[in-house]
Amino acid sequence: MSGEMSPTGKPSEPGSAPELRASHADRDRAVDVLRIAAGDGLLTADELDERLEAALSARTRRELAALTADLPPAPSARGATAAEAKDVVRIEQVHSGAVERKGRWVVPRRLELAVTYCDVTLDFSGAVITHDTLRIDVGMTGKTLTLVTAPGVVVDTDGLQLVHSRVKYQRTPPDPDPDAPVTLRVELVGQKAHGRVVVRPPRRTFGQWLLRRPAALSASA
């Protein structure tokens, strides 16, 4: 049948594949690029507002690509292919400041935590991931171990021994593509005494807050 329309309302070429739909994560990445570009003086306030509105309502990845085609990529995406993961990283800390790995940090193949009464946060939402499995040997007493996941990142806590501690696992909301592959499997082993372990997705971005609607409206859209 000729003259079929794409989701954007444009005629599809005969025999062409359908355009890929944009996910919340795709829109968030585009919003990050736009905000950074505006901060660097590459976009005016009016241009930023116009492109943000278009990004938040975009239905396909092609629409998002058009909005950022004339802008440099976000820092978290630059040079990721050149990163090399270490085989083992050991973190030792006692009664001191919080331990944090955020932003574009390179995920090692194995991480050893020897921490006493210090909060630990491992944020995988912007991390450079070069392999499919991370083993974390936990030797931690007190405070909270927080793991921030991302689409494709799963955490296995079955091998972790809990002593006067508990695990709170907040699942990532269902992705538009339920068959999306697992990009990183995080395996927790060892012992967590006192305090707790929290596994959660990233906090909602500004773009996601603007997109939120009542469940009834979302179901009927």
Residue 66 lies in a domain: yes
- The residue among 95 and 181 whose pLDDT is bigger is 95
Residues 128 and 159 in one domain: yes
Residues 43 and 93 in one domain: no
Q: Is the Cβ–Cβ distance between 156 and 188 less than 8 Å?
A: yes
Residue 208 lies in a domain: no
Report the C-alpha gap between 163 and 140 in whole angstroms: 10
Residues 44 and 94 in one domain: no
User: Of 47-56, 61-70, 191-200, 208-217, which one has max mean pLDDT?
Assistant: 191-200
Residues 119 and 197 in one domain: yes
Q: Measure CA 27 to chain center.
A: 12
Q: How confident is the model at residue 178 (pLDDT cuts 50, 70, 90)?
A: low
What total number of domains does the chain contain? 2
Residues 185 and 95 in one domain: yes
Residues 92 and 48 in one domain: no
Residues 67 and 91 in one domain: no
Residue 210 lies in a domain: no
Residue 119 lies in a domain: yes
Which residues, 6+ apart, have CB-to-CB distance to 16 below 8 Å? none
pLDDT per position as a tens digit, 12-68 = 555 555 678 888 888 888 887 887 777 777 888 888 889 988 998 999 989 999 999
Q: How confident is the model at residue 202 (pLDDT cuts 50, 70, 90)?
A: confident
Instruction: Provide the pLDDT for residue 176.
Output: 46
Residues 70 and 90 in one domain: no
Residues 118 and 164 in one domain: yes
Q: What is the pTM of this model?
A: 0.59
Residue 208 predicted with pLDDT over 60: no
| Joined tokens for residue 161 | 């021994």
**Full domain range(s) for residue 44:** 20-74
Residues 70 and 98 in one domain: no
pLDDT per position as a tens digit, 148-166 = 998 889 999 999 999 999 9
Residues 54 and 136 in one domain: no
Instruction: Provide the pLDDT for residue 150.
Output: 85
Residue 220 lies in a domain: no
pLDDT per position as a tens digit, 80-139 = 444 578 899 999 999 988 999 988 888 999 999 999 999 999 999 888 888 899 999 999
Identity of the amino acid at 170: Q
Residues 161 and 186 in one domain: yes
Q: Which residues of 92-114 are buried (b: 16+ CB within 10 A; e: fewer)?
A: ebeeeeebebeeebebbebbbbe
Instruction: Provide the pLDDT for residue 159.
Output: 96
Residue 145 lies in a domain: yes
Residue 51 lies in a domain: yes
Report the C-alpha gap between 175 and 143 in whole angstroms: 31
Residue 171 lies in a domain: yes
pLDDT per position as a tens digit, 3-13 = 444 444 445 55
